[in-house]
Structure 1
């Protein structure tokens, strides 16, 4: 059972972003193994807030290991300062290990990785491709239900990685020191374009869904017209217009190296998500 306020023990893990795509899964896997988990979120009984450093000490008290997932992304301006301050707080609290969720092809993410590696703590880096679950656990789902997803990405292939694979690797690193000092670059087993991904989702859900590539200018204009905050628009423009430029297209063997099995394929993800009805048109839609 996952609880926000577990008593301190020799192996308690603080899972930051415990309500997010990977953090939720990491917490569930650890709890299933009987590992005490403290949820790291603003709504937890012992709250953790990246924007309020006064919350960090209490959240870190009695913690052995940390799953470090930064919200919304390591690419946000000023994040390295937060990561440096957090790792210092973790050292002061007696934390032994940090497993960092990182992103492929992001210069600032690499800077944050270096901070964690130089912290003096035992560390593992989990560096990930674009999450498959962004299609069903985020804003994309609404557009897919409406029948069209439009993004500023053309035919550039991306090896979408399943959040379940990410969580399994992170959970393994948190409980097994044989993963110490490893950088696991995680991808799916093949690279496909966003258009191909949407086509697979359409086939799995039995619906007609189209993908429309946009220019970055049109993408920013559409977000602005929808009232999306400027800082969020800047982050999305960076991620879609810069990181998804082909630099991350190659497939890696990180899942196999960490878990001894192949990464989950996007088609399997799409079929399972479609069964849940997440992309179905509701009666009142």
Structure 2
């Protein structure tokens, strides 16, 4: 495909990785961001046409999350606009266990596009980005009980997305992307503590206590409310692992321990924190 790829959320966790992989492989990439030219803004439909113009395929990572009110109407309109602009292939980042995300998936299926859906678990990179400040400070406290989550690496998601955008054989496929094992947050933090040689702990707290912590960290209230909703979905529905990475790439997903060891060697949790309020699922 010689036409540009539009990567929405092109400066985010998965989008930035996808854009780099495509650039490195010689593809033409258009980063979907308010800061780019042409700009792209989910809440400003007038930006969609210029961003889509001439593109043959699109990676869709809705910001801040498909679970926010009004997301379905926006995403459905975007799919229709994309088809009218001549886009052939759409790869959608979805969230495991999110009813609203599944509504977005159905909208894609009904759009007439050549589609691939990436239904992902929570990211390894939440520990290095969204929750990094608290990890660096020595304590992560979330309103999440001891329920295992098969954390997925954003690099794995990016590689699957690039394959779906550029290679045959991924049309009409839904890939459930998880890591190879499920662990609770306390175990994840214990692995980080061991790898860094630091005293880092995890505590399960109430939603109200988390909201107070988030306010102290200057996290916007609307983002805190979104996180609290997503945390409420930790009820065991997503604890089972899936082989989506292997199905798409022919190799296993990256293990959380390998991710932790690499980040600890890099010193990710040793430097002074810089407040991060980026999305936890995209």
TM-score range, shorter chain: over 0.9
CA RMSD, 1 decimal: 1.5
In the TM superposition, what is the alpha-carbon distance from 1:226 to its structure 2 partner?
A: 4.8
Which of 134, 137, 140 is the aligned partner of 1:143? 134
For the residue of structure 2 that corresponds to 1:234, the secondary structure is helix
Report deviation, 1:51. 1.1
Whether the aligned pair in 2 keeps the contact of 1:87 and 1:119 (CA below 8 Å) is yes
Q: Residues 103-126 of structure 1, C-alpha deviation per residue, up to 9 Å, x if partnerless?
A: 000000000000011101100000
1:256 and 1:223 map into 2 onto residues whose CA distance is 37
Deviations 1:201-260 (A, max 9, x none): 11111211011111223223433455543322221110112x222110000011111111
| 1:99 equivalent in structure 2 | 91
SS of the equivalent of 2:151 reads coil
Structure 1 unaligned regions, length at least 5:
1-8
Distance (Å, rounded) in 2 between the aligned partners of 1:166 and 1:35 = 18
Matching of residues 37-186 of structure 1 within 5 Å = 37-138=29-130, 140-186=131-177
In the alignment, structure 1 residue 230 sits paired with structure 2 residue 210: no
- Distance (whole Å) between structure 2 residues aligned to residue 228 and residue 245 of structure 1: 25
Q: Which moved more, 1:124-133 or 1:204-213?
A: 204-213
TM-score normalised by length of structure 1: 0.92
Among residues 217, 241, 245, which one is paired with 1:251 in the alignment?
Answer: 241
**In structure 1, what is the equivalent of residue 279 of structure 2?**
none
Residue of 260, 275, 285 corresponding to 2:265: 275
Three-state SS of the structure 2 residue aligned to 1:183 is strand
Cα separation, partners in 2 of 1:225 and 1:209, compared to 1, 3 Å? closer
Q: Is the 8 A contact 2:2 2:27 kept in 1?
A: no
Contact 1:157 1:246 (C-alpha < 8 Å) held by counterparts:
yes
**Which has the larger displacement, 227-236 or 101-110?**
227-236
> How does the TM-score come out when normalised to structure 2?
0.93
Higher RCO, 1 or 2 (CA under 8 Å, sep at least 6)? 2
Aligned match of 1:3: none
Most deviating of 215-224 and 151-160: 215-224
Q: Distance in 2 between matches of 1:30 and 1:109?
A: 26
Helix, strand or coil at the partner of 2:180: coil
Q: Which runs of 5+ in 2 are unaligned?
A: 274-282
Contact 1:146 1:281 in 2 (8 A): no
| Deviation string, structure 1 residues 52-108 (Cα, Å, up to 9, x no partner) | 111000000000000001111111111000011101110111000100000000000
SS in 1 for 2:93: strand
Provide the aligned length of Structure 1 versus Structure 2: 273
